[in-house]
Structure 1
Amino acid sequence: MIGSNCRIQANVVIGGRNGLPGAPKIGDNVLIGAGAVLLGDINIGDHAQIGANAVVTHDIPAYTVAVGVPAKVVKKIENRDEN
């Protein structure tokens, strides 16, 4: 499932993991950088950003930036909707 207003750049892989059931669920307004890989039954929160070439195998909270292999949250994004 992919939410509304998502930006998914070139060469992104979104899929299952080692034959296990489930696939990534991506929230609204998510940015996924070029070459990123999202695997397994994971949730990507609303307004999250996934860096280029990141490998995501666990949940990423809303309003955060995740980068690296394996992906780690490195920054929290200011939630402008709360103001």
Structure 2
Amino acid sequence: FGTTFGQMVRIGSNVTIVHGVTIAGKNKCFPVIGDNVYIGCGACILGDITIGNNAIIGANAVVTKSVPDNGVVVGNPSKIISLKGSWRYQKNIWEFNR
């Protein structure tokens, strides 16, 4: 249930990463994670993609395409379900985890 990071992954500030997450790329192409991002348990973020600021990656989502700022992504393969309101979800998650 560990979390795995590739060598060159870049992670912004105030990012929450839960257990069982994989963030990796290959051939010098690695993900960039923005600020204030929540990544749910078991999620996989793969390839040369960017996760925008204030995004939420749902549990067990497999993300292989970039996610815009404030994007909420779920599923395998991942699908954007919202481009607004993610800050409210994050606020609730952070308040719950205090």
- Structure 2, unaligned runs of 5 or more: 1-9, 88-98
Root-mean-square deviation (Å): 1.5
Identity score, percent: 50
Report the alpha carbon displacement of residue 37 of structure 1 after superposing the two structures with TM: 0.2
Match of 1:10? Answer: 19
The two structures have a TM-score, normalised by structure 1, of 0.87
The two structures have a TM-score, normalised by structure 2, of 0.75
Matched residues, number: 78
User: Bigger relative contact order, structure 1 or 2, given CA contacts below 8 A and separation 6+?
Assistant: 1
Match runs of 1:68-79 below 5 Å: 68-78=75-85
Divergent runs of 4+, >4 A? none
Structure richer in helix, relative to its length: 2
Structure 1 Cα separation of the partners of residues 86 and 24 of structure 2: 28
- Structure 1, unaligned runs of 5 or more: none
- Contact kept, 8 Å, 2:60 with 2:75, in 1: the verdict is yes
What amino acid is the match of 1:73?
I
